[in-house]
A = this chain, B = another copy of it.
Amino acid sequence: MTYCVAMRLDAGLVFLSDSRTNAGVDHINTFRKMTVFERPGERVLVLMTAGNLSISQSVVNLLRERLQSPDEENLHTLPNLFEVARHIGTVVREVHQRDAAALGEFGIDFNAAIVVGGQIAGEAPRLFNIYAAGNFIEATDETPYFQIGESKYGKPIVDRVVTRRSSLEEGAKCALISMDSTIRSNLSVGLPLDLLTYASDTFRVREHVSIGHNDAYFNEIRRQWGERLRQSFSELPDPDWTKF
């Protein structure tokens, strides 16, 4: 499995993905799940993928191939994020048409989830969640984030602290804490992480960093967060059974 989370804040966009893929616990590998398509000054598009790795790699490769054919619609020329999401959905359907039946014969579901976000000159930053069927939804002011993969462990903290008014620093910090909770509770999600932030109306990636086992900042907030959680927990009043 995998875990990816993306946020669409007023300040910009935050993307975080892990890099663990597995086919059973005896077959665990590290593959990057974040892909960036950037034309500085004009557009930044960030893709994160979950599900069957052969499907998501096929999708990303086809998207790249199309970049070489200027006559076809592609991620460098599409006029807005909605059309980008439609384009990716169409490519997912192409892969489905080619592979789904063959996978099905081996009892393998056509399992794919894609988050794509970014900004194209002429509109505000946008964020979409594309399903295996090629359909998609867009993040809104009320629900400014998407998660794909092992999303449940890390959802409570995002629900509690992220709003569209959060800063990019807060968004990134929350994404890392959400990832930490997921990694602790689920073996199939693991380091290194890819963290990318994008500030609204800049049309270039702000930070794109890889976070490994020796990352001082990540290790420090994991440690502090764990300590504070235990501390906060111990300070909560114990139940007084006589009052029930």
Contact = CB atoms under 8 A, between A and B. Distances in A.
Contact of A216 (B153, B173, B243): B243
Contacts of A225: 232-233, 236
Interface string A121-158: 00000000000000000000000000000101111110
B221 A236 contact: yes
B241 A161 contact: no
Interface residues of A, number: 49
The count of identical subunits is 2
Contacts of A181: 156
A230 B152 contact: no
16 contacts: A152-B185, A153-B153, A153-B155, A157-B229, A157-B233, A160-B230, A160-B233, A161-B230, A161-B233, A209-B241, A217-B239, A220-B237, A221-B236, A225-B232, A228-B228, A228-B232
